[in-house]
């Protein structure tokens, strides 16, 4: 059996590579590992609205309760909400059933440890080992876990911190988002593309509660339309809607709302790099940017490096994947990180990327400064970037081949400080991704093509 866990949980074609049997096994093994030493442990379970989530939720719930863990079912909520509630209710784990920005036929299982933190590789390996060993002794009788709706948890003796009401978990998450905004957004009009996803209700509610005028689009999930031509991977609809309504900006979420991209009043895209630059400068001015440091991945544009250097902010880079950003944030106790794709993490307010929170904080900067998004985003000038995917037979060997490394060194010599080169094996396919950035687009294309040919010839 190959490794089950990818860069963000277990993911696959629902009822095919990711069927109820696997969902039951994964959740049961996770419960066994993460609930050890705890009596009447609790798991928070949520999902996005795709149809297969109903089937997988039943299997996950069976796996957890079969391992003796109580399940607090919170229904359709964003991934960051499940992470937040896992910490809020002192649960030993949280499970989010979602394939994020993937098309509807796919689904996934994301697992959070106590506190709402993503699992590290070692814990994932232990879970996989338990799955490989097969079913172990299971509790019977009163030892079997109970399935609790959020409103009835106390009736089953579930212990919840006294300062919080277990009633209305959705409302509590919205309250958390508004508290984290830090500014009255009255006077700002925003188009919010919910991708027919998990934030279709709580996203517009949070923005309105913070004072903004909200035009919600693609906020009518039917189980089949999630991410279908909309959301953060398809920005045409939100761009048109912003211009048509004369809105101040647009925000586009993905299916589980852990990422957010923006567009300005003219419909011009403001990507994750620009969002991070805006927030980093705002937090530095407010004394909230720990060690004056931003954490991003190696895929962030050279323009972000330049903008942060000019602003007196250190940019630390990690491997691709928000889990690696999260690990670096925790290790260095930094307060802002993210990815070009729109994952933005604010550890002071959440343990994972939160698209709605990102949008709220971006709008708070607009409200506080009185500046439009176009003006704020001008701090970053994107350097032309060319990305070529090269299919190979052995991605690991190709990436370290002497002739490939020499070609990379030669390209870097030609670019000097005006660009950079990155070769990265794909995490899921036999591909090597060749990325070249240069102030001269023609030069970037030529170097990328030359490197791609070299990679393909190995």
Could you tell me which residues come within 8 angstroms of residue 285 by beta carbon, excluding any fewer than 6 positions away?
none
> What's the CA gap between 411 and 427, in Å, rounded?
24
CA neighbor of 70 nearest in space, from 93, 87, 47: 93
Which residue is catalytic, options 100, 232, 300, 341? 100
Active site residue 100: yes
Q: Is 256 assigned a ligand-binding role in the annotation?
A: yes
Using CA atoms, how far apart are residues 213 and 276, in angstroms rounded to an integer?
24
Q: What is the DSSP track for 23-81?
A: HHHHHHHHHHHHTTT-TT-EEEEEE-S-THHHHHHHHHHHHHHHTT-EEEEEEE--HHH
CA 113 to chain centre: 16
On whether 258 is known to bind a ligand per the annotation, the reply is yes
**What is the Cα–Cα distance from 326 to 343, expressed in whole angstroms?**
11
The residue count of the chain comes to 458
- Cα-flanking dihedrals φ and ψ of residue 451, to 5°? -70, -40
Whole-number Å distance between alpha carbons of 45 and 226: 19
Q: Give Cα 129 distance to the centre of its chain.
A: 26
Distances (CA, A) of 258 to 233, 338, 355, 439: 13, 11, 5, 32
Is residue 41 within 8 Å of 70, Cβ to Cβ?
A: yes
**Cα atoms in the Cβ-side hemisphere of radius 13 Å centred on 10:** 27
Ligand-binding site membership of 100 (annotated): yes
Instruction: Please say whether the beta carbons of 314 and 292 come within 8 A.
Output: yes
Q: Helix or strand or coil: residue 353?
A: coil
Residue closest to 210 by CA, chosen among 250, 177, 248, 257: 177
What sign results for the dihedral spanned by CA atoms 188, 192, 198, 200? positive
d(CA 259, CA 249): 16
- Name which of 22, 77, 20 is nearest 47 in CA terms: 77
**What is the three-class DSSP state of 309?**
helix
Please give the Cα distance from 80 to 381 (Å, whole number).
30
Q: What are phi and psi of 337, to 5 degrees?
A: -160, 170
Secondary structure (3-state) at 175: helix
Under DSSP, the state recorded for 452 is H
**Beta-strand (E) ranges in 48-105?**
70-76, 93-97
> Is 98 among the annotated ligand-binding positions?
no
- Alpha carbon of residue 352 to chain centroid: 7
Binding-site members for Mg(2+) are 100, 254, 256, 258
Catalytic residues, which ones? 100
Binding-site members are 100, 254, 256, 258
């Amino acid at each position: 059996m190959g490794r089950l866990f990818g860069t963000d949980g277990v993911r696959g074609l629902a009822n095919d590579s990711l069927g109820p049997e696997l969902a039951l096994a994964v959740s049961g093994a996770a419960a066994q590992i993460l609930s050890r030493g705890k009596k009447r442990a609790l798991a928070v379970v949520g999902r996005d609205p795709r149809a297969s989530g109903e089937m997988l939720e039943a299997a996950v719930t069976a796996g957890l309760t079969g391992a003796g863990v109580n399940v607090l079912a919170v229904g359709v909520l964003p991934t960051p909400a499940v992470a937040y509630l896992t910490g809020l209710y002192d649960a030993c784990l949280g499970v989010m059933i979602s394939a994020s920005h993937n098309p509807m036929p796919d689904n996934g299982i994301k697992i959070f440890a106590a506190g709402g933190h993503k699992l590290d590789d070692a814990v994932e390996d232990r879970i996989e080992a338990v799955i490989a060993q097969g079913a172990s002794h299971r509790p019977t009788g009163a030892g079997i876990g109970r399935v609790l709706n959020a409103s009835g948890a106390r009736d089953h003796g579930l212990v919840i911190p006294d300062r919080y009401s277990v009633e209305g978990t959705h409302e509590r998450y919205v309250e958390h988002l508004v508290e984290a905004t830090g500014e009255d957004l009255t006077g700002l009009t925003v188009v919010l593309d919910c991708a027919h996803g998990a934030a279709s209700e709580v996203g517009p509610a949070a923005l309105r509660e913070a004072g903004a005028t909200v035009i919600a689009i693609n906020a009518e999930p039917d189980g089949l339309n999630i991410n279908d031509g909309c959301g953060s991977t398809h920005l045409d609809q939100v761009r048109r809607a912003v211009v048509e309504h004369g809105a101040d900006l647009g925000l586009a979420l993905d299916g589980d709302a852990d990422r957010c991209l923006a567009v300005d009043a003219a419909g011009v895209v403001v990507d994750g790099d620009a969002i991070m630059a805006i927030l980093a400068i705002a937090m530095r001015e407010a004394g909230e940017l720990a060690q004056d440091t931003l954490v991003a991945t190696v895929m962030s544009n050279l323009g972000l490096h330049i903008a942060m250097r000019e602003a007196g902010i250190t940019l630390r880079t990690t491997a691709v994947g928000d889990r690696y950003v999260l690990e670096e944030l925790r290790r260095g106790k930094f307060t802002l990180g993210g990815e070009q794709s729109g994952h933005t993490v604010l550890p002071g307010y959440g343990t994972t990327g939160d698209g709605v929170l990102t949008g709220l904080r971006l709008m708070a900067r607009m409200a506080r400064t009185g500046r439009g998004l176009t003006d704020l985003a001008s701090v970053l000038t994107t350097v032309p970037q060319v990305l070529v995917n090269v299919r190979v037979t052995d991605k690991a060997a190709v990436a370290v081949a002497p002739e490939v490394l020499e070609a990379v060194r030669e390209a870097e010599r030609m670019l000097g400080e005006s660009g950079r080169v990155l070769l990265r094996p794909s995490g899921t396919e036999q591909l090597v991704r060749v990325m070249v950035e240069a102030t001269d687009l023609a030069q970037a294309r030529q170097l990328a093509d030359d490197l791609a040919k070299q990679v393909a010839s190995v």
